[in-house]
Amino acid sequence: MNFRQIEAFRAVIMSGTASRAAELMGVTQPAVSRLIGELETAVGFPLFDRVKGRLIPTPEAEIFYRDVEASFRGLDRLRSTAARIRDFGSGHIRVASLAAAGSTIVPRVVRKFRDAFPSAIVTLSIMSSASVRNHVVDGEFDLGLAADEVDLSGVEHQVFGSFPALCAIPPGHPLAEKKVIHPADFHGVDYVALSPEDRARLQFDRLCEEVGSKPNLAIETPFAITACTLALEGVGVGIVNPLAVDGFAQRGLVLRPFEPAVYFKSYLLFRPDMQKARLVREFVAALLEVRNSRNFIRLNV
């Protein structure tokens, strides 16, 4: 018994004659008759009675057909599943993000994405940029959002954005009176620093060194959102990614532009086989739309 024989049997049941079954299958009538004969031999009982040129299913064939039809419904589901995977991926998108975006802009994107694809499942994990890169390369996540200090070799990527840093200042701090903060303003000031390998921190350190400004390093943290929280608690003044500041001004944190500009650059990272999957494309489109709808440069300060 093989699939072609079962297909011929089903076609005859549906059409009533071997000639019509042959048209459905795109073969000759003798080929259909041969396939039916082979299937009857395989199952060990007659499948059709020949009555006035029509093939009438035997009672045994009627019973057999119920399971055949169930199998074909299963095949139809498999075809639909394959088409959905081809067009949308698995229906489950796994996203890894650096903390600055993962706690602010990405949740907004998830809401927007699920409005369009309510049946899709999103896994969102927040981790360091290096971990984002490694997990995407290993195929554990479909899409990553990472800072520019990561190694981009071996991973498909595109620039997500380059955002000018903001100064996060405790409420009541003397620097809160200034409209724009400069490197010289940090001299002797308690400083909440990002990790030493952070590109924005390296830019900031270089600018301070050029003017002889020596901030008082109070604490280091890899996460801009933590730097905002520390500044809000009065630990010190930080240079932070504007992606991380959502909601902090309402809680009292003072945010000011920093000049000369220090930039936080971030990348979208893709598994090599996933960038063309529709769910990934749609999630990226939502990311870019939310990014473009927000104004990170001009602040109401």
Mean pLDDT over 192-210 rounds to: 94
Decide: 19 and 29 in contact? Cβ < 8 Å. yes
Residue 276 has pLDDT above 70, yes or no: no
Question: At a CB cut-off of 8 Å and minimum separation 6, what does 194 contact?
Answer: 200, 201, 220, 221, 222, 224, 227, 238, 239
Lowest mean per-residue pLDDT among 14-28, 102-116, 197-211, 221-235: 14-28
Decide: 238 and 231 in contact? Cβ < 8 Å. yes
Decide: 280 and 91 in contact? Cβ < 8 Å. no
Within the chain, strands assigned E span: 48-51, 54-57, 92-97, 121-126, 143-147, 156-164, 166-169, 190-194, 216-221, 237-240, 254-257, 263-270
Q: What is the mean pLDDT of the chain?
A: 88
Mean pLDDT over 282-291 rounds to: 91
Q: Which amino acid is at 51?
A: V
What is the sign, positive or negative, of the torsion defined by CA atoms of 133, 199, 162, 297? Answer: positive
Provide the pLDDT confidence category of residue 296 given band limits of 50, 70 and 90.
very low
> What's the pLDDT score for residue 75?
75
Q: Which two tokens stand for residue 159?
A: 């620039």
All structural domains of the chain: 3-86 (1.10.10.10), 92-162+265-293 (3.40.190.10), 166-261 (3.40.190.10)
Provide the pLDDT confidence category of residue 80 given band limits of 50, 70 and 90.
low
Percent of the chain with pLDDT over 90: 50
Q: What is the pTM of this model?
A: 0.65
DSSP structure string for 80-129:
HHHHHHHHHTTSEEEEEE-HHHHTTHHHHHHHHHHHH-TT-EEEEEE--H
Provide the pLDDT confidence category of residue 298 given band limits of 50, 70 and 90.
very low
Lowest mean per-residue pLDDT among 76-90, 191-205, 211-225: 76-90
Question: At a CB cut-off of 8 Å and minimum separation 6, what does 136 contact?
Answer: 96, 142, 143, 144, 155, 269, 270, 271
